[in-house]
Homo-oligomer: A and B are copies of this chain.
Amino acid sequence: MRFLAACHRRPVDATPIWIMRQAGRYLPEYRAIRDKLSFMEMCRRPDVAAEVTLQPLRHFELDAAIVFADILLPLEGMGIGFHFSPEDGPVIERPVRGAAELTGVRPFDARRDLPHVLETVKLVRRELDERTPVIGFSGAPFTLASYVVEGGHSRTYEHIKRLMYGDPETYGRLMALLADAVVDYLLAQIEAGAHAVQVFDSWAGCLAPFDYERFVLPYARDVVARVKQRGVPVIYFVNGAAGMLSLVGQAGSDVVGVDWRVELDHAWEQLGDVAVQGNLDPVALLGPPQAIEERVADILRRAAGRPGHIFNLGHGVLPSTPPDNVKYLVDAVHRLSAKSASG
């Protein structure tokens, strides 16, 4: 399995590729299911979640599947209710802004709280047999905390930064609870059959390196260390972290995911001896094939000579992406990287 070989920085016949949100709205057969079920219903039904996980692999020569789920799912079992609003996206019903709101939060237990996600991992693993690896995932502690404190998406992250600066004890207790949840969730997905796991720190890029180092990195490092003991590769992806990659690398993951706002070789120099995942701008997939080809070639050229490159977008695939362009991308990555390996 090319993807796992690359995670371990072993030689591959061509660069592996998977795509963040590859099970998603850009696929007509996904939308056909989504028209009948709510997003949360899809997450809660292992048969549906497994089907949606497998859909992109029927069209494209992807090198890994990623289980269909949402990063907010663990919150419900912790007593932090949320729903999705059509306009604003996720809405946390009672945001945690201080010690008082934290008293209602309880530890997460994957087997009790999210048995359906674990069942989905098992179904996908069985269906794929041993041809294609399955990636499990979780939000990182800070990214989960940002939802819990902000109450949803944020432009400024004022509330979580205020908590960090003004009440570091409550902030630390929330982060410790979430770190335990993330570890439990990832270990349970590994036990259910995940070959690798990705930790999404989607919003940690809102922080100055000064604050990332003090308030985020210790928890990310703790999560990575505890999960790595299980022996499967851990991918740590921080969106918007182009200016602090050397800190991101200190979390100790096997693979670091990077967004598109940095040249891959420049990123890799700062990360050192790890595998690197990325990093095409998702919007490039809205351009003509030639624009995709040029940008794929540039990324592969910057990755050449170092083992351990996993191709991916720098963020999730956009709903407006033509599926034909996803096919073009996947094939171009394999074609151009196989060529460069032989020549």
**B-facing residues in A294-308 (Cβ within 8 Å):** 295, 298
Give residues in A with beta carbon < 8 Å to B: 156-158, 161-162, 165-166, 205, 207-211, 240-244, 260-263, 266-267, 279-284, 286-288, 291, 295, 298, 314, 318, 320
Residue of B nearest to A280 (CB): B208
Q: Which of B162, B261, B280, B281 contacts A161 (CB 8 A)?
A: B281
Decide: B261 and A158 in contact? CB cutoff 8 A: no
Decide: A157 and B243 in contact? CB cutoff 8 A: no
Q: How far is the CA of A95 from the CA of B330 in the complex (A)?
A: 33
Q: Within the oligomer, what is the number of copies of this chain?
A: 2
Decide: B281 and A158 in contact? CB cutoff 8 A: no
Q: Which of B209, B279, B280, B286 contacts A263 (CB 8 A)?
A: B209
Q: Which of B244, B261, B286 contacts A165 (CB 8 A)?
A: B286
Residues of B within 8 A of A244 (CB): 242, 261-263
Q: How far is the CA of A188 from the CA of B186 in the complex (A)?
A: 60
A325 nearest CB across to chain B (Å) = 11
A-B contact pairs, 21 of them (CB 8 A): A156-B282, A157-B283, A158-B318, A161-B283, A161-B286, A162-B286, A165-B287, A165-B288, A165-B291, A166-B287, A207-B261, A208-B281, A208-B314, A209-B261, A209-B266, A240-B261, A241-B261, A242-B261, A242-B262, A243-B263, A244-B262
Q: Which of B158, B210, B298 contacts A295 (CB 8 A)?
A: B210
Decide: A281 and B240 in contact? CB cutoff 8 A: no
Q: Which of B243, B280, B295 contacts A262 (CB 8 A)?
A: B243
Q: How far is the CA of A262 from the CA of B207 in the complex (A)?
A: 9
With A156-B318, A209-B261 known, 8 other A-B pairs at CB within 8 A are A158-B318, A165-B291, A205-B261, A208-B279, A208-B295, A241-B261, A243-B263, A244-B262
A247 nearest CB across to chain B (Å) = 9
Q: How far is the CA of A260 from the CA of B211 in the complex (A)?
A: 10
Decide: A262 and B158 in contact? CB cutoff 8 A: no
Residue of B nearest to A314 (CB): B208
Residues of B within 8 A of A242 (CB): 242-244, 261-262
Residue of B nearest to A241 (CB): B261
Residue of B nearest to A246 (CB): B266
Residue of B nearest to A267 (CB): B243
A285 nearest CB across to chain B (Å) = 10
Decide: B162 and A262 in contact? CB cutoff 8 A: no
Decide: A288 and B166 in contact? CB cutoff 8 A: yes
Q: How far is the CA of A165 from the CA of B157 in the complex (A)?
A: 33
A172 nearest CB across to chain B (Å) = 15
Decide: B243 and A266 in contact? CB cutoff 8 A: yes
A146 nearest CB across to chain B (Å) = 12
> A283-B161, A287-B162 are contacts. A261–B208 as well, Cβ < 8 Å?
yes
